[in-house]
Structure 1
């Protein structure tokens, strides 16, 4: 007997991808419920518990109906749900380019190699740095990306140290200013001063749509 996996779903929506090297592309988002961390700057607290069980096959149908080829699975932390791994594989089998935004606390080796992991390295300013599984930085595949959300100059310096310690310049590295903590201009100036080979990562969707949910 085939058992169809389910996931606890918070929401789905189509929007412009706002982050990563895929920023600017139309994207279908699947936001799963639940998170094992509580970051100081979290902007999706509603995803901690809100949602309902949905079959993976139903989400495949929704992705196809979106008419888009790029799909992001996010949360919360999607990888704390067993069904998320099957969802990634089934979407990849169906020809979608899949991005998985993960907080770095869960082993990424089980992720389908066709997917792109966007690994959010928790800086000290997040309050969750000690929850990181830093071994994930050695598990990155060639197309994976690494994101640092930066709240202060101390976070910036810590992030630069991590980039060097784990030889991350060879990867796609994103430095993102935490909204309400530092301005994009300030982070840009620090990046330029240090001559860093990183991408300034802004939440493009918020410039377009504001802080609305589901965009």
Structure 2
């Protein structure tokens, strides 16, 4: 069965680089494959290749690192049917579980104990038309919505979406992230303060520590 195995790019431990969990020790399970091609993507190496592994082996390898926090990422992890039961099993093992997802994949079947970190793709990504707006009905206060912004146009799009979709009423954390090397975080902060926009500005902590091109950290 497809659910019994997953194609894995890498499994490793590091610190969480983004979200409200930034800075905490975390085990990352990076799945291979993505059906989007965002202009600013920094994990294109995970589009192809990888190794097919039994789900039980993936689970045990992830748990063996001993971190209380585990994240499924990609690529797009929810493209693989085995991701859904794996998320459940990691929760059953007592871990705090995160999933990073593009906003295009259906999140309705994700275990409610999982913290969903879901993108909404701004115009600069080239993939705005792929946003699955129905996913918003499955976002809870434990979840986070992330906007990756490359310029002022992206920022203004985010601001409009927050107001028009009434995202504040969802009770979740709204993350605003500047594309590394393209949008100055200082500019983003200035715009957020000027508009009194209730978002959490974040930087990619792993890139600050290890550099933008270092993988597996």
CA RMSD of aligned residues (A): 1.3
Deviation at 1:42, TM superposition (A): 0.4
Matches within 5 A, 1:158-197: 158-169=157-168, 170-197=171-198
Q: Quickly say closer, same or farther: Cα 1:97–1:52, change in 2 above 3 A.
A: same
The reply on whether 1:90 has 2:89 as its aligned counterpart is yes
Corresponding residue number in structure 2 for 1:51: 50
Q: Which moved more, 1:49-58 or 1:69-78?
A: 49-58
Tell me how far apart the structure 2 counterparts of residues 196 and 44 of structure 1 sit (CA, whole Å).
29
- Equivalent position of 1:139 in the other structure: 138
Q: How does 1:26-175 map onto structure 2 within 5 Å?
A: 26-169=25-168, 170-175=171-176
Write the distance in 2 (CA, Å) between the matches of 1:158 and 1:185. 18
Aligned length: 214
- TM-score, with structure 1 as normaliser: 0.96
Q: Deviations over 1:43-88 (max 9, x none)?
A: 0001001201011111221122101010010000000100000110
Deviations 1:84-138 (A, max 9, x none): 0011011111111110000011111100000011001100100001011011122
| 1:186 Cα deviation from its structure 2 partner | 0.8
TM-score, structure 2 normalization? 0.96
Cα distance in structure 2, aligned partners of 1:117 and 1:43: 20
CA, structure 1 residues 212+3, in 2 after alignment: closer, same or farther (shift >3 Å)? closer
Question: Which residue number in structure 2 is paired with residue 214 of structure 1?
Answer: 216
What are the ranges of 5 or more consecutive residues in structure 1 without an aligned counterpart?
Answer: none
Superposed CA offset, 1:158-188 (max 9, x none) = 0011111222223200000011221111111
